[in-house]
Amino acid sequence: MTILKEFREQCATPIEKLRQVADAMTAEMHAGLASEGGSKLKMLNSYVDNLPTGDEHGLFYALDLGGTNFRVLRVQLGGRDGRVAKQEFTEVSIPPQLMTATSVELFDFIAKELARFIATEGEGFFLPPGSQRELGFTFSFPMKQLSIASGTLIRWTKGLSIDDAVDKDVVVELTKALDRQGIDMRVAALVNDTIGTLAGGKYFNNDVATAVILGTGTNAAYVERAYAIPKSGEMVINTEWGNFRSSHLPVTEYDQALDQESLNAGEQIYEKMISGMYLGDIVRRVLCKMAEEAGCFGDIVPRKLKTRFVLRTPEMSAMHHDTSTDLRVVGSKLKDIFGISDTSLETRRVVVELCNIVATRAACLSAAGIFGILKKMGKDTVKKGEKQRTVIAVDGGLFEHYTKFRSCLGSTLNELLGDEAAHTVVIEHANDGSGIGAALLAASHSQYH
């Protein structure tokens, strides 16, 4: 109980602290826009200067690579009247050995799967004679964008580590793989998942001004007004906010240990506190300390309890949402994941409270980040006489499936905004926003447009 109490105090996010985090986010955004390398936030220019309008026509493909699997989809766009007339997709897992292989092996695997998917193109999809298929490529890793259809990889995250791909243009690598497979296809747009989500959101709802990903990783993008960017005109900015850091973030010893043992120590501190890849592991680390120092699972510390990432966030969520009187979901998860059987009800309650502390902190910090972006855009207050509505498109499994995280995020953002402004800001779930968004950006940047 002492360990739990200490941890709860260290993770506390009172509203004043969240306001400080939001102000720090706004300040870092200004610094990142003002100069290259001026901030931990990269504030990357996405080169997307024409978001989809709804007039787009034709057949477009999208490839969405964002972690341990990727999606391939095709959409038939029918302009103002038809909108998304038809769409199909498939999801493919990347074999573990390819996560650390070579660039050629990874992109050849992707191109083969893409070829297989193209071969199933059936009724309702049609390409005008003599025209080339076009693809929107969602690439959700830090990259230096060079134009709408080129960008070099800065570094891998989320478990991928392929050294020879770093500093290479990922569109060139993909195009070479497509050629090797004999696929006649042009990459028309290269975007990250956040930009894709923003484009997809805006296509269906013109009030969308910001997109946030809360899944395995996290990021945010928004539409910046022209005069605010010394670097260029009006632009969609990819903040790369996962790398945000501030002395106001409630970092604990468990966060520090997780960071030090990670592939990218010292980077992505904010992401490691709020995204789905890490939350379960923070819970595991606290449980491990409880087992070592307080013997809460018997005399011997279960071996599995020392295994990094063995507790995934979906399992953590299942335990957090357990409403049974004897918390039997918690009991069975502890047995299945860690091999810990015969836990007392008191121990199970501690586990639920741990999940609650970690998820609440993540949701509150996410809300503070969003509030920081709204402040930067001048959308955190109500202007007299203006009809104002700001929609934040949010995608990602953490937001979609973790109910308590999602409701805490919403209520915290409303509290930060205050009653009047809260009525003008809406969070909407953009389901598979990034995939459809990439196809839409291929359409709005098509060579036939």
List the catalytic residue out of 39, 46, 140, 246: 140
List the catalytic residue out of 8, 19, 155, 389: 155
List the catalytic residue out of 193, 281, 322, 432: 193
- The 3-class secondary structure across 230-290, one letter per residue, is CCCCCEEEECCHHHCCCCCCCCCHHHHHHHHCCCCCCCCHHHHHHCHHHHHHHHHHHHHHH
Q: What are the CA-CA distances from residue 339 to residues 112, 297, 302 (Å)?
A: 40, 10, 7
- Supply the DSSP string of 209-234, one letter for each residue: EEEEEESSSEEEEEEEPGGG-TTSSS
Percentages helix, strand, coil for the chain (3-state, rounded to 5) are 45, 20, 35
Which 8-state DSSP code applies to residue 369? H
Contact, 146 vs 169, CB < 8 A? yes
- The answer to whether residue 155 is catalytic is yes
Token reading at 78: 């029918």
Contact, 330 vs 308, CB < 8 A? no
The 3-state DSSP class for residue 63 equals: strand
- The answer to whether residue 193 is catalytic is yes
Q: What are the CA-CA distances from residue 200 to residues 4, 349, 366 (Å)?
A: 42, 41, 21
* Cα gap 223→236, rounded to integer Å: 5
- The answer to whether residue 140 is catalytic is yes
* Cα gap 73→117, rounded to integer Å: 8
Q: Which residues are catalytic?
A: 140, 155, 193
